[in-house]
Amino acid sequence: MIVFAPKQTRYEVTVFTDIECGYCRKLHQEMSELNGLGVKIRYLAFPRAGIGSSTYDKMVSVWCADDPKKAITDAKADRPVPPKQCDNPVSEEYNLGRALGVTGTPTLVLENGQLVPGYVPAQRLVQMLEAEKSRAAAR
């Protein structure tokens, strides 16, 4: 996973992401706000075009980069990422997403295992996470 963690984590969200997805890019642009609100984002690779596609190859380069956080930020901003190969989890993460029913990106996986397809603005995401935490505490 490529992890963007705040100083103090209140919530963790795992996100199946594609570097060429517009809404994934929009979510990534809110990373500072998300981290500021205590949300840790853990990215899993989900190249929508599938294994062996050019997007898949670019995502391998991101996951294999010396600094994957910088590489994913660059890739989502249409900045080049040098091609690189390594032992990587991209195909395994893609297959995991498919097994869980992921059909598009971004798909968020909340701490309770709930899948939330599509983009959710940072403030709305925190409201959802707080509501779920309250429901869990009431059980």
Q: How far is Cα 57 from Cα 126, in angstroms, rounded to an integer?
A: 33
- The DSSP letter of residue 16 is E
Residue 57 designated active-site: no
Q: Give the CATH class of 2-138.
A: alpha beta
Residue 17: name the closest of 84, 88, 134, 109 by CA: 109
Q: What is the pLDDT of residue 77?
A: 96
Q: What is the pLDDT of residue 116?
A: 95
Residue 18 designated active-site: yes
Per-residue pLDDT band for 133 (boundaries 50, 70, 90) equals confident
Residue range 89-108: mean pLDDT, rounded: 96
Residues 94 and 47: beta-carbon distance below 8 Å: yes
Residue 66 designated active-site: no
More confident position, 137 or 116: 116
Residue 10 designated active-site: no
Look at residue 138 and tell me whether its pLDDT is greater than 80: no
Q: How far is Cα 100 from Cα 78, in angstroms, rounded to an integer?
A: 29
Q: Which pTM value belongs to this model?
A: 0.93
Q: What is the pLDDT of residue 19?
A: 96
Residue range 30-55: mean pLDDT, rounded: 95
Q: How far is Cα 13 from Cα 28, in angstroms, rounded to an integer?
A: 13
Look at residue 134 and tell me whether its pLDDT is greater than 90: no
Q: Collapsing DSSP states into helix, strand and coil, what is residue 30?
A: coil
Q: How far is Cα 106 from Cα 44, in angstroms, rounded to an integer?
A: 10
Given the residues 21, 66, 86, 139, the one annotated as active site: 21
What residue segments make up the domains of the chain, in order of their start?
A: 2-138
Given the residues 10, 25, 42, 48, the one annotated as active site: 48
